[in-house]
Amino acid sequence: MTEASAGEQRPPGFLERLRASTGGVIAGACLFALSLYVLFTNEGRALRIAAALDEGLSQLVCVQSDAQPELRNDGRLVHLSGDLRTAQPLHDPNYSVSVHAVKLQRQVEMYQWVEYSDSRTVEENGEKKTETTYSYNTEWRSEVISSRHFDQEVGHMNPSEMAVESVTVVAPEVWVGNFLLSTGLVEQISEFHTLSLSALPVPVAGFLTVQDDYYYHTPNPRHPEVGDVRVRFAYAGLSGDGLYPGSAHKVSVVAQQHQQQLRPFSSRSGHTLELLYMGQLTAEELFAKEHQLNSMKTWALRLAGCTLMFLSISLSTRVIHTLVERVPLLGGLLSVGLQLFCLCSSISLSLLTIAAGWIYYRPLLALCVAAAALVLPLALAHARAPAKKRQ
pLDDT bin (cut points 50, 70, 90) of residue 367 is: confident
Among 47-61, 184-198, 313-327, the range scoring the smallest mean pLDDT is: 313-327
> Which is higher by pLDDT, 270 or 262?
262
Q: Is the pLDDT of residue 109 over 80?
A: yes
**Per-residue pLDDT, 96:** 83
Q: Which residues of 54-71 are buried (b: 16+ CB within 10 A; e: fewer)?
A: ebbbeebeebebeeebee
SS (H, E, C) 150-198: CCCCCCCCCCCCCCCCCEEEECCCEEECCEEECHHHHHCCCCCEECCCC
pLDDT band (50, 70, 90) for residue 19 = low
Residue 77 CA: distances (Å) to CA of 134, 137, 259: 59, 55, 12
Q: What is the pLDDT of residue 114?
A: 95
What average pLDDT score do residues 283-298 get?
95
Query: Does the pLDDT value for residue 220 go beyond 60?
Result: yes
- Most confident listed range (103-107, 240-244, 268-272, 351-355): 103-107
Checking if the pLDDT of 4 tops 50, the result is: no
Among 58-72, 142-156, 318-332, 343-357, the minimum mean pLDDT is found in 318-332
What pLDDT sits at residue 94? 84
pLDDT value, residue 205 = 54
pLDDT tops 60 at residue 325: no
Whether pLDDT at 130 is above 90: no
Closest CA to 273 of 297, 295, 257: 257
What confidence score (pLDDT) does residue 7 get? 41
State the average pLDDT over residues 58-70: 90
What mean pLDDT do residues 254-263 have? 94
Averaged pLDDT of the chain: 83
Write down the pLDDT at residue 9: 44
The 8-class DSSP code of residue 54 comes to: H
Q: Cα 264 to chain center, whole Å? A: 23
Residue 12: how many other CB atoms lie within 10 Å: 11
pLDDT, average across residues 304-317 = 86
The answer on pLDDT for 8 being more than 90 is: no
Bridge-based pairing of strands 101-124 and 229-238 is antiparallel
In this prediction, residues 215-232 reach a mean pLDDT of 90
Contact between residue 234 and residue 193 where contact means Cβ atoms under 8 Å apart: yes
In the chain, domain spans: 9-54+292-384, 61-281
User: Which comes out higher in pLDDT, residue 40 or 208?
Assistant: 40
Is the predicted pLDDT of residue 377 greater than 70, yes or no?
no
Q: What integer pLDDT is reported at residue 11 of this predicted model?
A: 47
216 in Cβ contact with 108 (< 8 Å):
no
- Asked if the model's pLDDT at residue 16 lies above 80, the reply is no
Instruction: Please name the helix (run of DSSP H) or strand (run of DSSP E) that holds residue 8, with its range, or none.
Output: strand 2-9
Question: How far, in Å, CA of 373 to CA of 39, rounded?
Answer: 14
User: Which among 66-70, 122-126, 364-368 has the top mean pLDDT?
Assistant: 66-70
pLDDT (0 to 100) of residue 1: 47
Share of the chain above pLDDT 70, in %: 81
As a whole number of Å, the CA-based R_g of the chain is 30
User: What confidence score (pLDDT) does residue 381 get?
Assistant: 58
Name the residue among 324, 306, 331, 318 with its Cα closest to residue 25: 318
What integer pLDDT is reported at residue 391 of this predicted model?
37
- Which whole number is the average pLDDT over 224-243? 88
Average pLDDT (183-193) is: 95
Displacement of CA 129 from its chain's centroid (Å):
37
